Structures are given as structure tokens and as C-alpha cells.
Amino acid sequence: MDLLQAAKQFATLHHVIRKGQMYGVVPYAHHCSDVEYILRLFGECREELLAAAWLHDVVEDTDQKLRDVEENFGEEVARLVGAVTSEPGESRKVRNALTYPKIRKAGPDAIRLKLADRIANVSAVGGSLKMYKNEYPDFRHALYVPNDGNEAMWRHLDIIMERT
């Protein structure tokens, strides 16, 4: 089985089958699929990054540990998943303030993964849209790096945020 297919099965097993997690009215795997789709939409085809799209929330939202991701999917996928996994904190604002520098330090691929996740989240148009709009200035300030290859994704997200 290839890396991407294994990541899809792993994420579905842990998010949906074992935890019963939903993303709105659909099983959580739909969100993971959306993140992969957005990466592909912006030209991404590297298997490690696409696998990380499926696994980006598995450490944060299930009983799986980062070492489980590394053992099953390798160091690079685990590095990306670890970078976008929220740090603990007493509020979302504190968690973001601790997590954003970690993502930025991990480099353009980690930022690209987080951008795809955020685009998927705001495109789903749930009750959290106002929250994402309110935190967008901090998100952009913390993660925007000129000429890192993610400009098209930033432009897309800017347009979505301006229209909401």
C-alpha cells in the first residue's frame, strides 16, 4: 500500500471508526480529504505532504501520538504533523500564539499544510467563520513569509476572508 492510501486509512480509522468524529454533518474524513484536495488544487503532488493532509489532526484529536505517525509514515510526515499540531494552552488565542511560531519555524511546507487546513475550514462555512475572520490578522502576520511559494494560497485565503 502506498503512503497516501495508508494515511487515508489511518486517519479514517482513528477519526471516524474509533472516535466517531464528525465535521459538521459529515464524517471527519471529509475534512481531511478537503485539505488534500486544496493542496492538489494549488499544485502540490508530493506524497508526504498529501499524506500529512490526512494526518494533520490525528495527534491533536485522537489517541495517536506523534511517534505513531513517525513509525507508520516516516520522519517528514511526522515533522509536518507535529508542526501543525496545536500546542496546549488555556484558550484558543494562547494555543495559536504558541503554535504559529512552531509552524513558521518548520518552513514553507508546514505553512502550506496549515494554509490548506485553514482554507478548508473557512470554505466549509460553518459556525466558526466569524472566529476565523477575527483571528485572521494574527494568523497572517505570524505565518506569511514572502516568496516562500505559498503566495497563491495566501491570495486565495485573503479573498475568502475579505468576502466574509
Q: Give the catalytic positions in this structure.
A: 60-61
Burial of 120 (0-12, 13-18, 19+ CB in 10 A): buried
How far apart (Å, rounded) are the C-alpha atoms in residues 88 and 46? 30
How far apart (Å, rounded) are the C-alpha atoms in residues 143 and 98? 12
β-bridge mates for residue 27, sequence order: 22
- Report whether 91 contacts 98 (CB < 8 A): no
How far apart (Å, rounded) are the C-alpha atoms in residues 92 and 11? 24
How far apart (Å, rounded) are the C-alpha atoms in residues 63 and 118? 23
